[in-house]
Amino acid sequence: MDDTRRKALITLIVAAIPGYLGLAGVGHAYLRQWRRSIVWFLLGIGSAVALIFYYVEDPAAIEVTDPAAVPIEVTIPLLVIITLSVLDAFFLAISLGREQKEELAREEAGEDVQAAPNCPNCRKEVDPELDFCPWCTIEFEQPPEEEKPTSQNELEK
């Protein structure tokens, strides 16, 4: 089993076990995709709270340890959200593994590929012709322009 498949399988296990216990986003945290992990976690918790308050007359009466106490109108959407979170983490692990393999193959082949520069703030690729990052809008420091000759004598030199 190659590294990509192994990491994808571990991600699937790490995401599924806590996921089906109600914690979405754990697989993304394993992959160190922090923003995605937080978004999935908040989506799962927020959906659970909203659905419980909408479908249950007395939310305080629900026992957390008794899954049968939670109405099916709440359970099914939460299972869908958690399943989507697990699948997203799994396919993200595969995608990241392929990118790493391609990068290693390029390095081994000795290709001198000019990679686009990255923003020093958010680390995303930016257009080298821009003087700001389109993702986080930070302005880049401009390199000092070379002094332009101003007199005719300096132009002749």
DSSP 79-99: HHHHHHHHHHHHHHHHHHHHH
Q: Are residues 32 and 90 in the same domain?
A: yes
User: Which SS3 state, helix, strand or coil, does residue 132 take?
Assistant: strand
| Same domain as 66, residue 136 | no
Using an 8 Å Cβ cutoff, are 136 and 121 in contact? yes
Range of the domain at 128: 114-141
Domain assignment present for 53: yes
Closest CA to 128 of 138, 140, 136: 140
Residues 18 and 75 in one domain: yes
Residues 57 and 133 in one domain: no
pTM of the predicted protein model: 0.64
In a domain? residue 155: no
The pLDDT value given to residue 143: 43
Which two structure tokens, joined as six digits, stand for 8?
Answer: 């994808």
- What is the model's pLDDT at position 136? 86
Q: Examine the domain organization and report whether 135 and 81 are in the same domain.
A: no
Within this chain, do residues 70 and 119 fall inside the same structural domain, yes or no?
no
**Residue 69, pLDDT score:** 77
Rounded to the nearest 10°, the torsion over CA 130, 136, 141, 145 is 10
Same domain, 92 and 137: no
**Cα separations (Å) of 100 from 11, 15, 88?**
16, 21, 18
> Is 156 contained in some domain?
no
Q: Is residue 149 part of a domain?
A: no
Closest Cα partner for 130 from 122, 11, 138? 138
Task: Provide block-wise average pLDDT over 10 residues at a time, the chain (157 residues).
Answer: 84 88 88 93 92 85 75 89 93 89 78 69 83 85 50 54
DSSP 24: T
The total domain count for the chain is: 2
**Alpha carbon distance 104, 68 (integer Å):** 50
